[in-house]
Structures are given as structure tokens and as C-alpha cells.
Amino acid sequence: MRTSLVIASIVLALVTINCGAVAPTSPSPVSTGSVPSRSNNNATPTPTPTPTPSPTPAQPPVPSSGAGAVQVTVSPNPVPFSGQPITDIASCANRPNTWFYDQLLKETGGVAVTVTRRVDTFDGAAGSATNPNLRIAANGSTSIRTRWCSVSSSGHTAQSSFSGTDANGRTWSVTGPLVRLNAK
């Protein structure tokens, strides 16, 4: 047992002596002996220059203390009857009465927003909520192409509500204008 203790003490002493003797990230000292320089084999070696510290990276902008807000405009409104087929949606494939318009979502509060919920209504009946996952920069905007189909060619109304969070973590919501879909 005493021999084990003595061996363990010697190993610990050797580890302590050798530990930290050379920092692994320190440059090796340059020898002035017969080691040639990389740029010229006949030149006398010169020490490696000390690296110049790089500038501190720019800090990200401090978020505004404001709140993101979204304004919705529709163009055109009222919407003329189209009749152009919508073939990429199964529920519209056999419905010849169609309307198309754009909804412009503009951030007006000066804080970037993410749209995480959209609910559309048609003739007052709300559809299922979807997550468009749209990001709008502070004071930026995005346009959403909106289209409707119906079995009836009579006039209809549509409306969209949007909600989400801003870059400061605040929630927001907005209901767009009532859109009039003209009869055929």
C-alpha cells in the first residue's frame, strides 16, 4: 500500500511539473540555427510577428422599445369576377366562379414581425387557421396573392385576420378590410 502511495505521488509530481510548461496555442520560438526561412532559403530566419488583434465585431442593433404593427390593404376592392380556373386546389377544380386579389401587409410600428396565424372568412364563415410563417422587416411589406372559388357566381364577401409576434416578443393582430367579390 505504501509503495502504491509513493508511485502515485511521483506520477502526480511529474504531471504537475510538465503540465502547462508550453501553452499549446503559443507560437514556437524561432531558432537562429540552420532552419531556413519559408520565403528565402538563404535568409536569416526572423521571428513571427505578433498577430494584430482583429477589431471587435459590430454589435447587433438593439431592438427598439416599440411594438410591431401591421396594416392590411386590399387591391382591387371590390374584386371583379374572374372565372379563371384554379386547378391546383382540389376543392376548386370543379368550381368555375373565381376571384383574385392582393393583400399588402405593411409593418408600421418600426419593429420586425412574424405572421404566425391567418384565418380567412368567406361570406362570414371562418375557415381553418393556417401558419403562413411570414417575416416582415421593420417598415417593410409583403404581398399575398389571395384567390377564392365558389359554386355560386353571385356576389360574396371575404376577409382575412392575421396575428403573430414582433422582434421584441410582443403579440399583435389585425383584421383586414372586408373584401367585396363582385357577381358574374
3-state secondary structure of 60: coil
pLDDT at residue 50 in the model: 54
- pLDDT tens digits for 142-159? 999 999 999 999 999 999
What's this model's pTM, rounded to 2 decimal places?
A: 0.65
List pLDDT tens digits, range 39-71: 334 444 445 455 555 555 555 555 557 899 999
- Lowest-pLDDT range of 14-28, 64-78, 79-93, 151-165: 14-28
115 burial type by CB count under 10 A (0-12 exposed, 13-18 middle, 19+ buried): buried
pLDDT, tens digit, 9 for 90 and up, residues 98-115: 999 999 999 999 999 999
Percent of the chain with pLDDT over 90: 64
Q: What is the pLDDT of residues 31-40, one digit of tens each?
A: 333 333 333 3
Burial class of residue 179, CB neighbours in 10 A (0-12, 13-18, 19+): buried
What is each CA distance from 125 to 121, 148, 160, in whole angstroms?
5, 13, 11
At 65 the pLDDT is 72
Place of cell 414582433: 166
59-82 in b/e form (b: 16+ CB < 10 A) is eeeeeeeeebbbebebeebebebb
> One-letter amino acid identity for 103?
Q
The fold adopted by the segment(s) 70-175 is: Immunoglobulin-like (2.60.40)
